Structure 1
Amino acid sequence: MKFAIALFAAPHQPAARRALRFAQAALADGHEIVRLFFYQDGVHSASSSVVSSQDELDLTAEWRTFVKAHNLDGVVCIAAALRRGVLDTDEATRYGRTAASIEAPWVLSGLGQLHEAVQEADRLICFGGP
Structure 2
Amino acid sequence: MKFALALFAAPHAPSSRRALRFAEALLAEGHEIVRLFFYQDAVHLGSALPVAAQDELDLPAAWRALVERHRLDAVVCIAAALRRGVLDAGEAERYRRPAANLSQGWTLSGLGQWHEMAQEADRLICFGGD
Smaller-chain TM-score bracket: over 0.9
Runs of 5+ consecutive residues of structure 1 not aligned to the other structure: none
Which residue of 1 is the match for residue 105 of structure 2? 105
Which residue of 2 is the match for residue 15 of structure 1? 15
Deviations 1:69-111 (A, max 9, x none): 0011000000000000000111011001111110321100000
Which residue of 1 is the match for residue 50 of structure 2? 50
Shift of 1:25: 0.1
Provide the C-alpha distance between the structure 2 equivalents of 1:123 and 1:31, rounded to a whole number of angstroms: 11
Q: Percent identity?
A: 71
Any conservation in 1 of the 2:64–2:103 contact (CA below 8 Å)?
no
The one-letter amino acid paired with 1:79 is A
The one-letter amino acid paired with 1:122 is D
Q: TM-score by structure 1 length?
A: 0.98
Shift of 1:45: 0.6
Runs of 5+ consecutive residues of structure 2 not aligned to the other structure: none
* Runs of 4+ residues over 3 Å off in structure 1: none
Which residue of 2 is the match for residue 90 of structure 1? 90
Provide the C-alpha distance between the structure 2 equivalents of 1:83 and 1:44, rounded to a whole number of angstroms: 11
The total of aligned residue pairs comes to: 130
